[in-house]
Structure 1
Amino acid sequence: MARLLPDEWLLRLYIAATYAFVPLAPVALRRRLGRGKEDPARWREKLGEAGLARPDGPLIWLHAVGLGEVLALRGLILALAKQRPDLHFLVTSSVRSSAQVFARNAPPCTQHQFLPLDAMPFVRPFLDHWRPDLSIWAEQDIWPGLVVETHRRGIPLALVNGRMNAGAYASRARVRSVYAALYQRFSMIFAQDRDSARYLEALGAVAPVPVTGSLKASAPVLADQPEERGRTGRAVEGRRLWCAASTHQEDEAVVLAAQARLFAADPHSLLVLAPRDPVRADSIKDAARALGLGVAARSLGEVPGPGDAVYLADSFGEMGLWYRLCPVVFMGGSFGPVSGHNPWEPAHFGAAILHGPNVANFAADYEDFAKAGASHQVNDVPDLIKALGAVDLVETGSSAKRLAVSRLTVADDLAVRLLSLLPDTEAQDA
């Protein structure tokens, strides 16, 4: 049995308190189900009920909370599998959309489940069923009950792609003893950048925390849909396409205003708008129509006609399609408090990357893009219109692709270190 760590009373209190939530958990999940936030066929996975059989052989369990974080794990999975072809992988996440998109982009020998809620009556059946040989957590999302019980069972823990800004650190520092007790259970912790490493160390991670760069840079290209790409490409042939990806309301106010001016000057202009949350489709249509813009919606099977200025890509799992069709991509989350989204995905397709001023969550990544001449920052509607008409967009896209290709091996060295945590299966067989 793993030894108890000092200064853990808050952690113990948290785990004890979660038992009070157990009777309410099915009720809360059913309410979310009614709002479309849970998968009707799979929501009970969050109660620790496995939806799939455990594969035979060594299993690595990787967890990330949402869509971007889950997709970033694909490069690491491929790097691990390249060195250990006998491995199987379980990926867990919490957000419904992450499962839908991951299903189209999952590496071989990889299964997906929703993470169980963090109470022992749900955690223990999950671990009993899957019996992972190694547990890898990504970025910021760690759950105390799951970490404690995984460690108690002697399963090695690692944290990769660790990311933390000053605000996140300040909120966690109020309960530093909890994070210290959790981080001390991890055999390895790796950070995306030096600031994140410093904050992790201040919260109790064993120093020095190695800096590996972002795993998002090493993720393979998103899946293609050749037949659908052909159909859609024919429908928009002759149009000047640009994409606004992973947008939020603040981004949409800017890109729609820019598109209104572009379309008035050139009716061949077409904005492919892919919101971060397609549930907001109706409000986006209203905003576009208020500016006099015609809208066709992907989810309704519509294709843009000559009078449509916006193609609303309100469907999951098709960003690989849009990035292949659009030579210029504005990355959302950069005009509001979200503080940016992942630029590496469109870069792999040679898209010129545009973004707003708020990219704190990807500050190091966007700094690399700027240094490589692979992106342009825009601060308002006139800036965006100017950038979309820049004569160097083709070269900007080429620079983005070169940069993305140069980072594909980021996960290889990390995989070697993580595999050292696996039990020695040859020794066990002997």
Structure 2
Amino acid sequence: MGVVARKGMLVYKIYRALSYVVSPLLQIHLRWRKIRGLEHPTRLPERLGRPSLTRPPGPLLWFHAVSLGEGMAAIPVIKECVKWRPDLNILLTTTTMSAFEVIINQLPTGVLHQFSPIDTPAAMDAFLDYWNPNAIMLLESELWPNLIMASSRKGILLALLNARVSMKSFKLWSAPVLFPLISLLLSKFSLIIPLSSMQAIHFQLLQAPPFIINFAGDLKYVVEYDASKEQFRSIDDLKVQLGHRKVWMASSIHRGEEEVMLGVHKVLKQVYPDLVTIIVPRYPQHGKDIAQECRNCRKKGSMLL
């Protein structure tokens, strides 16, 4: 084992010890998220590695995505797996409620869904022991140490699809403390498919083995929505509704930011009377609160709508 690998193992042991210590706090945090509507009301145990479904017999392939974008990018690959390997059991895990609410209706028949376990030794070991996947497909930048190291110890194949690392994360991962750990984690993968040539260079600079890096393009460009399962308004219908009106969209906003957006809408409305403002919250449940706020503003006459 080289110097970098030894340092990486030392950092991992520190991370693992810390994750043991903070496990009770993370469980409290999950319950707080449940109260706020950010976790599923009846499936919180899944986040601790406790299954709510029966594992079917036979080989199993685990796809892990965090939110909606990563989950949708996984669907084309899942469909191909179902097409060419009907004998293969497929499990998809997501973290956010927004991803679950959309993706659950897009999955092929027979594909299992669970909420992803938090990256603590107890939760991850319980999850892996129960589901016992033959291979794991992680989406984008899900480099969780306990997940990767536990999977490697169990001989489970690891792949990173649509792999990317932001410039902020790249600088952080290149720092002296984290670089050995990231290098160690990347060495456990059998396949890394970056979404661009630049991303491939980033992973090589982080010491991912060059022979496991294979470029295939961005999976998000091949995502298709199944209109028979989701009632999406067509582009043509939307154009008819909007006509030639000015449109401004505030996308993926967090709680509290809608006040700023509504203030901007009020100012712009004075210049463009036919303006249509579209607010897309990060979390769907937040949309109900925004809609109610807009209705209250209209009743009070405090905003031009």
Smaller-chain TM-score range? Answer: 0.7 to 0.9
The one-letter code of the counterpart of 1:181 is: L
Q: Give the deviation of 1:16 after TM superposition.
A: 2.0
Give the corresponding residue for 1:39: 40
Equivalent residue runs for 1:323-402 within 5 Å: none
Provide TM-score, normalisation by structure 1.
0.59
Higher relative contact order (CA 8 A, sep 6+): 2
Q: Give the deviation of 1:22 after TM superposition.
A: 2.7
Deviating more after overlay: 134-143 vs 207-216 = 207-216
Deviating more after overlay: 5-14 vs 237-246 = 237-246
Structure 1 residue matching 2:141: 3-state secondary structure? coil
The one-letter code of the counterpart of 2:103 is: F
The one-letter code of the counterpart of 2:189 is: F
Structure 1 residue matching 2:280: 3-state secondary structure? strand
Pick from 256, 260, 264 the counterpart of residue 269 of structure 2: 260
Q: Distance in 1 between matches of 2:196 and 2:230?
A: 37
Structure 2 residue matching 1:105: 3-state secondary structure? coil
Give the corresponding residue for 2:214: 210
Pick from 216, 220, 224 the counterpart of residue 224 of structure 2: 220
User: Structure 2: any 5+ residue segments left out of the alignment?
Assistant: none
Alignment pair present for 1:94 and 2:95: yes
- CA RMSD in angstroms, aligned pairs only: 3.2
Task: Kindly provide the CA deviation profile for residues 63-92 of structure 1, in whole angstroms up to 9, marking residues without a partner as x.
Answer: 111111111110111122222121221111
The one-letter code of the counterpart of 2:66 is: V
Q: Relative to 1, partners in 2 of residues 1:142 and 1:255: Cα closer, same or farther, differing over 3 Å?
A: farther
Could you tell me whether the CA contact under 8 Å between 2:161 and 2:194 is conserved in 1? yes
Q: Distance in 2 between matches of 1:222 and 1:252?
A: 31
Q: Give the deviation of 1:254 after TM superposition.
A: 9.7
Give the corresponding residue for 2:283: 277
Provide TM-score, normalisation by structure 2.
0.81
The one-letter code of the counterpart of 2:281 is: P
The one-letter code of the counterpart of 1:204 is: Q
Equivalent residue runs for 1:23-422 within 5 Å: 23-174=24-175, 175-207=178-210, 209-224=213-228, 240=243, 244=249, 246-248=251-253, 249=257, 252=261, 256=265, 260=269, 264=273, 266=274, 273-281=279-287, 282-283=289-290, 285-286=293-294, 292-294=303-305
Q: Give the deviation of 1:261 after TM superposition.
A: 5.9
Deviating more after overlay: 195-204 vs 285-294 = 285-294
Structure 1 residue matching 2:193: 3-state secondary structure? strand
Q: Distance in 1 between matches of 2:26 and 2:280?
A: 32
Deviating more after overlay: 175-184 vs 219-228 = 219-228
Q: Relative to 1, partners in 2 of residues 1:79 and 1:256: Cα closer, same or farther, differing over 3 Å?
A: farther
Identity percentage of aligned residues:
30
User: Structure 1: any 5+ residue segments left out of the alignment?
Assistant: 295-430
Q: Distance in 1 between matches of 2:109 and 2:202?
A: 35
Count residues in correspondence: 284
Deviating more after overlay: 5-14 vs 48-57 = 5-14
Q: Relative to 1, partners in 2 of residues 1:228 and 1:79: Cα closer, same or farther, differing over 3 Å?
A: closer
Could you tell me whether the CA contact under 8 Å between 1:165 and 1:195 is conserved in 2? no
